[in-house]
Chains A and B, each alone.
Chain A
């Protein structure tokens, strides 16, 4: 499957739900093993971009390539880690159950998970240090542990790219640093990480590369390049002062 140096290539992508396109002529490339943050104000098309990378939205024009292949042919190559708020934490599933869901894409519907699948799941839970909690219902974990379970599911999926939707939204400082640790470990294992992120204050610290999106791609590159006053003030109009403070550091 690995047939390109780029994990994800988006070329001249336009997606629209109405007269005003949600994404307009967006192009960028993400290299293997990079930790990339997608930033931009509310309603800027971050989630549309994420859906496009998962192959969910109808593209007006443009391509999304995953390891050099059209995204539609790469089902499961990108693992999706949902936003905390969208998960029903009372759902009757255990840690092991959730991690096993990563294998579902590989299973024929009339087969039960094999021994090999169980081994893979065990190994992935080991990687995120959640082996001791296998039988725990997912609501009975701390925020950081919950995030790790979903990381394990993504790893069990065998995906080389992880797409995380706002993993830092509404978590406390301890959880935030726990999640960062998991990201760092996944990166060390050569996995490409794409993270939708809302907090500008931490963005430059957490990511190798940033994509600044508001309908168009305003900037892409290392944080020092993206965090330029004229760019930020154009994208986040009206809330300039905060950023002047931010830039001063």
Chain B
């Protein structure tokens, strides 16, 4: 009990901890919410650029107040200075990208390091006047947060959150489809500037807590964590805010327990949190993905099942299929389920191929026999033909099969003398090719006859001992053997 108290409750009794928690949470929540839009607009690097550029503004603001008014470390002036330098940087990035062949990513790299360097030089040259701890600036000091910083962050947070909530729809649509947004009269460019302004504000207010280097993490990581968990922007923002808060809470405890720098601990915790979600997220997580892959039925198993059912030519049970198809029982069950869903087989316990299943089987059979013939042409010994064709039959895209078939001059039989079923690349087939074909509605794809049937007609085909006939618009038309041979049909979709 005592240990628990020391670990969890004791820090809460310390003023510095509570202040850090409150100030940090305010900043983290608004960072996270804004960060959602930042990552969706692919502007992650911008946060980095803005935070680095700030130092020039801070230095210039400090120097200005000191030299002009003799005021030491005027926080307000430093804040305004950093906003100005942030805006200048954003402007310069856009300007260079626009007027030269330098692309935006390189332009960002040039400008933010340039402005950052200017700041560093400024601070060290005027070291006599400016008392800025560069280390503090770079690493931040969440545990020593000042009241002024706290007030500034609270105001900034309130302002930025209000803007985002009030204009949520517009930020959503300008991020998603700016052209459409412009076409309904939304000022896309204005919203872009407003948004950049918002990002600058929160970056500036967050730097004093987590420092230049880590601020971009606070902006991106909680938002990215939320992105893995939801498919709606509203929920993503809410979750991101939550993760922003937990990052601060968990990070602060971590820093107390390990006696480490506050900013570092916060970002470490945020990153661990992200990695945990990356692994365990129900839909977009690695585990879920792995599970999905494991349960996915390979196409080869599906095709082997169809082929074995066609061969048996009578209804079969799952056990019968298992004898022919080498796979795990669970996989087989999944396969039967997905075959039923796709309408290729029907029944429960005892299964049967449907019409579509039978044409699919024919397609496989054709692939198998075409490959077998091809292998024979290639000089593969007969004893290995079947085994190799059994693997190759899964490469059964009909157009490719037609090509191979054609290259050999469309042989009608395979090396064993078995007929290659006439199934064509558009999914049509010859009536005589399907075993026991009768009483089916089909669409005619091609036919040579003068009995008033033509391609595109939907007819009902019947096959009795008396021969073939097609029923069109309620009229029965008997067909000769030659006409049946010339006819290809397709199942109605």
The chain A residues found within 8 Å of chain B, CB to CB, are 54-56, 75-76, 78-80, 82, 86-88, 91-94, 97-98, 101, 104-105, 107, 109-110, 137, 153, 157
Does residue B169 face the partner (Cβ distance < 8 Å to A)?
Answer: yes
Does residue B391 face the partner (Cβ distance < 8 Å to A)?
Answer: no
Q: Are B170 and A92 in contact (CB under 8 A)?
A: no
Q: What is the CB-to-nearest-CB distance from B76 to chain A, in angstroms, rounded to a whole number?
A: 32
In the complex, what distance in Å separates the CA atom of A88 from the CA atom of B233?
Answer: 13
Residue in B166, B167, B182, B231 whose CB lies within 8 Å of A94: B231
Q: Which residue in chain B gives the minimum CB-CB distance to A174? A: B493
Q: Are B185 and A56 in contact (CB under 8 A)?
A: no
B window 132-188: CB within 8 A of A: 166-167, 169-170, 172-173, 175-177, 179-186
With A104-B173, A109-B169 as contacts: A80 and B180 at CB distance below 8 Å: yes
Does residue B322 face the partner (Cβ distance < 8 Å to A)?
Answer: no
**Residue tally, chain B, CB below 8 Å to A:** 25
Q: Are A157 and B184 in contact (CB under 8 A)?
A: yes
Residue in B40, B166, B167, B181 whose CB lies within 8 Å of A91: B40
With A75-B185, A109-B167 as contacts: A82 and B177 at CB distance below 8 Å: yes
In the complex, what distance in Å separates the CA atom of A56 from the CA atom of B182?
Answer: 8
A-B contact pairs, 8 of them (CB 8 A): A55-B183, A75-B184, A76-B183, A91-B176, A94-B231, A104-B169, A109-B169, A110-B166
Q: What is the CB-to-nearest-CB distance from B230 to chain A, in angstroms, rounded to a whole number?
A: 6
Q: Are A82 and B172 in contact (CB under 8 A)?
A: no
Q: Are A82 and B180 in contact (CB under 8 A)?
A: yes
Q: What is the CB-to-nearest-CB distance from A167 to chain B, in angstroms, rounded to a whole number?
A: 14
In the complex, what distance in Å separates the CA atom of A110 from the CA atom of B233?
Answer: 19
With A88-B176, A93-B233 as contacts: A78 and B183 at CB distance below 8 Å: yes
Does residue B210 face the partner (Cβ distance < 8 Å to A)?
Answer: no
Q: Are A93 and B172 in contact (CB under 8 A)?
A: yes
In the complex, what distance in Å separates the CA atom of A219 from the CA atom of B238?
Answer: 54
Q: What is the CB-to-nearest-CB distance from A246 to chain B, in angstroms, rounded to a whole number?
A: 22
Q: Are A75 and B177 in contact (CB under 8 A)?
A: no
Residue in B167, B176, B184, B185 whose CB lies within 8 Å of A93: B176
Residue in A86, A87, A104, A137 whose CB lies within 8 Å of B184: A104
With A82-B177, A109-B169 as contacts: A92 and B40 at CB distance below 8 Å: yes
Q: Are A107 and B185 in contact (CB under 8 A)?
A: no
The chain B residues found within 8 Å of chain A, CB to CB, are 40, 166-167, 169-170, 172-173, 175-177, 179-186, 227, 230-233, 235-236
Residues of A with C-beta under 8 A to B233: 91-93, 97
With A92-B236, A93-B232, A109-B167 as contacts: A101 and B177 at CB distance below 8 Å: yes
With A93-B233, A109-B170 as contacts: A76 and B185 at CB distance below 8 Å: yes
In the complex, what distance in Å separates the CA atom of A93 from the CA atom of B40?
Answer: 11
Q: Which residue in chain B gives the minimum CB-CB distance to A78? A: B183
Name the residue in A80, A87, A98 with the highest tally of chain B Cβ atoms < 10 Å from its Cβ.
A80
In the complex, what distance in Å separates the CA atom of A222 from the CA atom of B46?
Answer: 50
Q: Are A80 and B183 in contact (CB under 8 A)?
A: yes
Q: What is the CB-to-nearest-CB distance from A108 to chain B, in angstroms, rounded to a whole number?
A: 11
Q: Which residue in chain A gives the minimum CB-CB distance to B167? A: A109
In the complex, what distance in Å separates the CA atom of A56 from the CA atom of B175?
Answer: 18
A sample of 14 more A-B contacts (CB under 8 A), given A92-B230, A137-B231, is: A54-B179, A56-B183, A75-B184, A82-B179, A91-B40, A91-B233, A93-B172, A93-B231, A97-B172, A98-B176, A104-B181, A104-B186, A105-B186, A109-B166
Residues of A with C-beta under 8 A to B179: 54, 80, 82, 86
Q: What is the CB-to-nearest-CB distance from A193 to chain B, in angstroms, rounded to a whole number?
A: 16
In the complex, what distance in Å separates the CA atom of A47 from the CA atom of B176?
Answer: 20
Q: What is the CB-to-nearest-CB distance from A220 to chain B, in angstroms, rounded to a whole number?
A: 24
